[in-house]
Amino acid sequence: MAADTDMVNLLVIAGATLAIPILAFVALFILWPSALIKIYYWYWRRTLGLQVPSILMLHGFSAHKDTWLTVVKYLPKHLHILCVDMPGHEGTTRTNTEDYSIRGQVRRIHQFVETIRLNRKPFHLIGTSMGGNVAGVYAASYPSEICSITLICPTGIRYPCETKFDNHLQDLEHSHYTLSIPLIPSTPEEMEDMLKLCSHVRFKIPQQILQGLVDVRLPNNDFYQEVFMEILGENSRYALQEHLHLITAPLQVIWGKQDQVVDVSGAAVVAEALPGCRLDILEGCGHSVVMERPRRTAKLIMEFIISLGTTSGPIKKCS
């Protein structure tokens, strides 16, 4: 009789043990399906041995960390993302002795990375425009810290084809830089011209907003001119191309096909130096990829990072 009771108790305990996860699954399925989906992806990441790295994002010339907000909006919420102001920009300090060349900026970003101990594990590095130049040189200089890298319309390359901005640069050089620099507007009209230069998509911006954008930038224009001259100098102008052969991490390049600032032909230069890289060329998009195509940009970045669980990423063109 005692044996029968023990057997019944054992069956009850076993049944309860099995029922708890089943009931939990049913509850999640009915009440919190989103949690069930997250658990599903977590299970497969663990099964496949995948880990999503931290992501450090570097903005372009005369911009700031909030530039990335449009892209971050479409990235998974559980990611560890850091958007940092580039040296001297927005919330960072400036001194007369700072080096704002590409290599100087790389050193400052590395100081930041070491200070917050981001390099305890390899991280994914993203840079756009000037930030792409810095990101590429960083990956070449500190290869052990980088697990993968995304360059978006990067500067620092000898582009086979010229752009509208290249014509402006030639005029500037001939004038010994006495003409206004298109990327450093000081009036609402110049601001509108800059936005047209940087973006293929035409955004309708009220005059009052244009004035506000100029007012925010005006106190920094002398600094922007200093940085502009630094990154055009012989030590920085082609820094990315000079360091491409030293990049060992899997590389993705995203470029707007209608970029008028740095020509999309630069993507072929990168692919020739690093044949295993992934190319994503965006139709109907200019230089301001993160502003014009934020959802697509976020999707491409995540596709690339996830693909590294099984492959270094094929060469691919996307519209």
Tokens of 206: 């009220």
Length of the chain: 319
- Active-site option among 54, 62, 101, 129: 129
| Residue 23 neighbours by CB distance under 10 Å | 11
Tokens of 169: 């640069």
Is 129 catalytic? The answer is yes
In the chain, alpha helices (H) = 2-31, 33-48, 69-72, 102-115, 130-141, 164-174, 188-198, 207-217, 221-232, 239-243, 266-273, 289-292, 294-307
Is 215 catalytic? The answer is no
Long-range contacts of 267-270 (CB under 8 A, 24+ apart): 268/160, 269/157, 269/158, 269/159, 269/160, 269/241, 270/151, 270/154, 270/157, 270/244
CA distances for 119 relative to 106, 109, 135, angstroms: 14, 12, 14
Residue type, 158: R
C-alpha atoms less than 13 angstroms from C-alpha of 212 in its C-beta half-sphere: 5
Which is nearest to 314 in space by CA: 256, 253, 258? Answer: 253
Tokens of 50: 């995948």
Which is nearest to 153 in space by CA: 190, 109, 197? Answer: 197
Is 101 catalytic? The answer is no
Strand order in the sheet with 123-128: 81-84, 55-58, 123-128, 146-152, 251-256, 278-282
DSSP state, residue 307: H
- Active-site option among 62, 243, 287, 288: 287
- Active-site option among 259, 263, 280, 288: 259
Positions annotated as catalytic residues are 129, 259, 287
